[in-house]
């Protein structure tokens, strides 16, 4: 039954994506909207009269035309609440505007991969990749997170997010800065910190930096080759699954090859005891990127006008003319 209904929904949705923007601006008819919601057209009309939602407009011929975003929002909240008045109230609250983290979280809760992909594409049409990551994707995954145990909805969202971020990492343009950033990610699969670590690497790459992510489980004696290839100026510690002793050994191994590196903490990898000299980047990838770039630029050697002048070709002496 569910497969038949989903097939009908796909046929309805596929049939109305005819305009240049991907959705027919005139909306969808009552029968098609009812199919998407799994109710009869008469029930949909009664909801319209009783709750004034979903609210159609009339075509030139007087037919009801429902906004696809309203119907999709209502379909998701019905699946979430199983109560008509609660679902309508929640759909109204979430709105029918551009893709938001709440709409993406609802797609994760419904295990709807196709809708999640579409919402992320919509967000990219309105926001940068960086803002889509922080404002839409990370917020949606975090909304499904629970304190003690992972839910199936959270793991679905987490895996969808990690796949999407991996694709964005591959699509990042080539590095334009000489600086390398080494990220030690001490999170575990399905940790929220792991998604934030991936997000940080994507935004750093998109800002022109070279990056390399490793786990603290790496054998420190074999770290030298990676360090010589990356030549890092910064080390970022993230994740909370290793001890302070392990972090100390990692930092010591890095500094034995690259003594000038600056060590940063991202999202509390190093407990803040007040005695640590580690620079803290904060909780969000964009704030962390901005602080990291500011530190890199501040540490760059000043441009010496005399040194630049010494590199210019010498003017030929009169005797040489």
Positive or negative, the CA dihedral 12, 94, 149, 123 is: positive
pTM higher than 0.75, yes or no?
no
Cβ pair 199, 133 in contact under 8 A = yes
Tell me what pLDDT residue 142 has. 95
Contact present, 200 and 266 (Cβ < 8 Å): yes
Q: For position 226, what pLDDT does the model report?
A: 92
CATH topology of domain 98-171: 1.10.1240
Kindly report which listed range (27-31, 148-152, 274-278) carries the lowest average pLDDT score: 274-278
- Quickly state the pLDDT bin for 240 (edges 50, 70, 90): very high
Any idea where the domains of the chain sit in the sequence?
1-95, 98-171, 175-299
Tokens of 44: 């949909």
Residues 6+ apart with CB under 8 A from 154: 108, 141, 144, 145, 146, 190
The pLDDT of residue 318: 36
Residue 218 has pLDDT above 80, yes or no: yes
| Cα separations in angstroms, 148 against 111, 139, 151, 157, 191 | 21, 19, 10, 17, 12
Q: From CA 285, how far away is CA 235, in angstroms rounded? A: 15
The answer to whether 239 touches 194, Cβ cutoff 8 Å, is yes
Most confident of 1-5, 35-39, 96-100, 270-274: 35-39
Q: Please write the tens of the pLDDT for every residue from 78-123.
A: 988 899 999 999 888 766 556 788 889 988 988 999 989 989 998 8
Q: What is the mean pLDDT of the chain?
A: 84
Q: Report the range out of 12-16, 207-211, 250-254, 306-310 with the highest average pLDDT.
A: 207-211
- Domain 1-95 matching CATH 1.10.1660.10: the answer reads yes
- Residue 305: which H helix or E strand, with range? helix 305-311
Burial class (CB in 10 A: 0-12, 13-18, 19+), 208: middle
Check: CB of residue 186 under 8 Å from CB of residue 239: yes
Task: Fold for 175-299, please state it.
Answer: Rossmann fold (3.40.50)
Strand, coil or helix: 237: strand
């Amino acid at each position: 039954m569910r497969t038949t209904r989903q097939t009908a929904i796909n046929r309805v949705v596929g049939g109305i994506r005819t305009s240049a923007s991907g959705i027919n601006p005139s909306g969808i008819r009552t029968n098609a909207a009812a199919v998407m919601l799994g109710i009869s057209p008469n029930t949909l009309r009664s909801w319209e009269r009783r709750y004034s939602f979903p609210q159609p407009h009339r075509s030139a011929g007087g037919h009801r035309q429902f906004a696809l975003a309203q119907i999709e929002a209502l379909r998701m909240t019905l699946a979430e609440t199983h109560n008509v008045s609660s679902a309508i109230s929640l759909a109204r609250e979430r709105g029918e505007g551009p893709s938001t983290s709440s709409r993406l979280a609802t797609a994760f809760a419904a295990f709807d991969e196709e809708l999640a992909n579409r919402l992320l594409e919509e967000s990219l049409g309105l926001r940068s990749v960086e803002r889509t990551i922080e404002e839409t994707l990370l917020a949606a995954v975090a909304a499904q997170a629970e304190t003690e145990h992972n839910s199936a909805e959270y793991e679905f969202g987490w895996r969808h997010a990690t796949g999407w971020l991996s694709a964005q990492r591959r699509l990042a343009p080539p590095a334009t800065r000489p600086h390398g950033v080494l990220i030690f990610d001490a999170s575990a699969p399905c940790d929220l910190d792991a998604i934030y670590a991936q997000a940080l690497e994507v935004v750093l790459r998109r800002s022109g930096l070279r990056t390399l992510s490793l786990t603290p489980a790496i054998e420190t004696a074999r770290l030298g080759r990676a360090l010589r290839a990356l030549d890092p100026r910064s080390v970022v510690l993230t994740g909370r699954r290793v001890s302070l002793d392990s972090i100390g050994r990692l930092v010591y191994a890095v500094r034995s090859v690259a003594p000038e590196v600056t060590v940063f903490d991202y999202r509390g990898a190093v407990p803040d005891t007040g005695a640590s000299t580690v620079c803290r980047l904060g909780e969000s990838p964009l704030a962390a990127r901005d602080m990291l770039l500011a530190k890199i630029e501040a540490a760059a050697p000043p441009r010496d006008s005399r040194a630049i002048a010494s590199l210019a070709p010498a003017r030929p002496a009169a005797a040489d003319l």
